[in-house]
Amino acid sequence: MSRQSEARKQKRKKELRRQIFSLAGFLCVILVIGILVKVNTGKSPKNEIEADLGDTEYVAQDESATEDEAAATASVEENTEAAKVFSAQETPETTNVGDGIVSEHAVLIDLDNGNIVSQKGANERINPASMTKVLTVLVAAEHVKDLDDTFTFTLDVTDYAYINDCSTAGFLEGETVTVRDLFYGTILPSGGDAAVGLATYVAGSQEAFVEMMNEKVKELGLSDSAHFTNCVGIYDDDLYCTTYDMAMILEAAMNNELCREVLSTHCYKTSATEQHPEGIVISNWFLRRIEDKETLGTVVCGKTGYVVQAGSCAASYGEAPDGHGYVCVTAGSSSSWQCIYDQVALYDSVFQ
């Protein structure tokens, strides 16, 4: 090898060493800077990654909170719908039926506009008797999940109706019936046995169920003038409402699919049991009797009531030929038939 070639080779080696030292120096500077940053911030790269993950987790929690908020809002909206307050108002066109009917108290309400068409002592206190059972099935319908579930009658439940001289569906001690049977048994024959059975099934006792009834009355905005002490309608000085209150309760029931179905049924046969192998045939005699009367419209739903202190009463829903809906409540009539005639007279005033 020539001296010239050897010189070039040595020169390249020196240049390579110089580059290596320069790179090493640069890496040292970077390392020192990293150490200083760590000292000043107290965070290592690992801490920085964990911090980033923490931020991500916080965002996820925020998203979860947003979902919870949305669910809560939906729940409030649902409860608001469930807690809908029904109301009606007098107008300059509202008439006082006075002696036009025998019943001492009455109210006829146009559901399409919420106007009181006619009234007679509509805001005076009455005893609603078995019209109470409209509220009973309304409260029960809002809590029952399975109509095919069963209830077995105890002596306490069946005796309550007999001791208080109530009408009954005919269920017996030890008989196991469906919850559906309890609903129809409460309304169609106005069964005190079925009503107490339904209340006991829903709340564990009639007393607990009555508390739920009064909560519903409060929810409907009627607690200033309505109060209930039993689910049957047995007379009690502390069980009262007005015909207006009962109209609002019936309107609320009409907005419940199950209640509307039960209140509009003319005839029903209970399920077969050991005590009644062929079931029990029960009827809503108010509907069967009033459908024979000459009205241009149709009385779709109804529930009657009677106690000596209150006379005969009824709460019903009728539809005019054009589909217009009305709620009619009368109380203090002289007989069950006169109660029907009074209802027909009120409906005729708008159906025609």
* DSSP secondary structure of 29-68: HHHHHHHHHHHHH---HHHHHHHHHHHHHHHHHHHHHHHH
Query: Structural domain tally of the chain?
Result: 1
pLDDT of residue 71: 44
Decide: 310 and 126 in contact? Cβ < 8 Å: yes
pLDDT of residue 62: 37
Give the domain extent around 308: 95-351
Q: Residue 89 domain-assigned?
A: no
pLDDT digits (tens, 9 = 90+) for 281-335: 999 999 999 988 877 799 999 999 999 998 999 999 999 998 999 999 999 999 9
- How far is Cα 320 from Cα 131, in angstroms, rounded to an integer? 23
- How far is Cα 129 from Cα 254, in angstroms, rounded to an integer? 20
Q: Residue 132 domain-assigned?
A: yes
- How far is Cα 202 from Cα 186, in angstroms, rounded to an integer? 14
Residues with Cβ within 8 Å of residue 253, at least 6 apart in sequence: 134, 135, 137, 138, 141, 259, 260, 263
Residue-by-residue pLDDT tens, the chain, 352 positions: 444 444 455 545 555 555 555 555 555 445 545 544 444 444 433 333 333 333 333 333 333 334 444 444 344 344 434 457 789 999 999 999 999 999 999 999 999 999 999 999 999 999 999 999 999 999 999 999 999 999 999 999 999 999 999 999 999 999 999 999 999 999 999 999 999 999 999 999 999 999 999 999 999 999 999 999 999 999 999 999 999 999 999 999 999 999 999 999 999 999 999 999 999 999 999 999 998 887 779 999 999 999 999 899 999 999 999 899 999 999 999 999 999 999 999 999 998 7
CA separation, residue 223 to residues 129, 218, 246 (Å): 18, 5, 12
Q: Residue 237 domain-assigned?
A: yes
Which residues does residue 311 pair with via DSSP β-bridges, in sequence order?
Answer: 307
pLDDT of residue 4: 43
Q: Residue 117 domain-assigned?
A: yes
- How far is Cα 48 from Cα 43, in angstroms, rounded to an integer? 6
Closest by CA to 300, choosing from 336, 269, 263, is 263
Q: Residue 44 domain-assigned?
A: no
Q: Residue 73 domain-assigned?
A: no
Residue indicated by tokens 């069946």: 158
Closest by CA to 340, choosing from 96, 95, 102, is 102
Decide: 119 and 108 in contact? Cβ < 8 Å: yes
Q: Is 165 left (phi over 0), alpha (psi -120 to 50) or beta?
A: left
- How far is Cα 89 from Cα 108, in angstroms, rounded to an integer? 11
> What's the chain's length in residues?
352
Residue 67 corresponds to which tokens in the numbers above? 């979902």
pLDDT of residue 85: 77
Q: Residue 27 domain-assigned?
A: no
pTM of the model: 0.77
- 128: domain CATH number is 3.40.710.10
Residue 230 corresponds to which tokens in the numbers above? 């039993």
Closest by CA to 347, choosing from 316, 306, 304, is 316
φ, ψ of residue 14 to 5 degrees: the values are -60, -40
pLDDT of residue 219: 97
φ, ψ of residue 86 to 5 degrees: the values are -95, 145
The DSSP bridge pattern shows strands 298-307 and 311-319 to be antiparallel
Q: Residue 53 domain-assigned?
A: no
